[in-house]
Amino acid sequence: MLIVYLTKFTDLDIDDKDPKGRTVLHWAAYQGDIFTVNHLIKCGASINMYDADGLTPLHWALVRNSRDCLISLLKAGADIKLGTRDGKSCTQVATDMGCTRLLKSALREIGINEQGEQLKFLFSEKTGKFVTFLGPYILLPVMLMVVTDGFLFFKFIFALSLMVLQVALISRHLCLGCFCLVVQIAALHI
């Protein structure tokens, strides 16, 4: 709460640096303090400012393994392409800190790749959830009517491909989803 008071009722510059060149946002990201990070972003703190070690708040959030701070900084426009003074990318910093999975998951959640480009999806998240929700209610009765006269092996393959199709739709894997549809169509014609 002190940060709210200092930003609202004093004339301190939000981007003032300490002797190591770190701003309040650098320290908040390093501490994993999502409340302070969000408040500083709302107050207009510079999110891509380097400290004396050549690190941005995004790098410090990676050092701390703070998923919430990573997502908040990335949504606010932190540049994933900015490297450290040593020339390390955010991906290399994440590798050094053992948190590449964390970085990839945060990037996927906000819809960008490791190069900072927007990810393209076949379905919107809302459409994917709708299809996934209705899929069992539409496909399962059809499947049961069609395969009740068939062999047990084909019933198993069809049911398995139906489950994989639903997982593919949830995770937006187009190739896997198309493969499962082909398997299901082939099973229907056998």
Question: Could you tell me which of 119, 190, 111 has the C-alpha nearest to residue 150?
Answer: 190
5's tokens: 């008071």
The one-character DSSP state at 10 is S
Residue 72 confidence (pLDDT) above 70: yes
**Residue-averaged pLDDT of the chain:** 78
Residue 167 CB partners (closer than 8 Å, separation 6+): 176
Can you tell me the mean pLDDT for 111-130?
A: 76
Domains of the chain: which residue ranges?
Answer: 2-110, 125-189
Architecture of domain 2-110: Alpha Horseshoe (1.25)
Beta carbons of 78 and 41 less than 8 angstroms apart: no
pLDDT of 23 higher than 60: yes
pLDDT of residue 175: 57
* Residue 94 near residue 100, CB atoms below 8 Å: yes
pLDDT above 90 for 76: yes
pLDDT band at 160 (very low <50, low <70, confident <90, very high): low
How many helices, marked H, and strands, marked E, lie in the chain? Answer: 10, 0
Whether the predicted pLDDT of 176 surpasses 60: no
Judge contact between 10 and 3, C-beta under 8 A: no
Comparing 64 with 116, the larger pLDDT belongs to: 64
| pLDDT confidence band for 35 (50 / 70 / 90) | very high
Q: What percent of the chain has pLDDT over 90?
A: 23
Q: What percent of the chain stands above pLDDT 70?
A: 62
Residue 148 has pLDDT above 80, yes or no: no
Per-residue pLDDT, averaged over 70-94, amounts to: 89
Residue 163 dihedral angles phi and psi, to the nearest 5°: -65, -45
Question: Tell me: the pLDDT tens digits for 48-57?
Answer: 999 988 999 9
Angle at 159 between CA 154 and CA 164, to 5 degrees: 125
d(CA 126, CA 177): 17
Residue environment code for 177-190, b if the CB has 16+ CB neighbours within 10 A, otherwise e: beebeebbeebeee
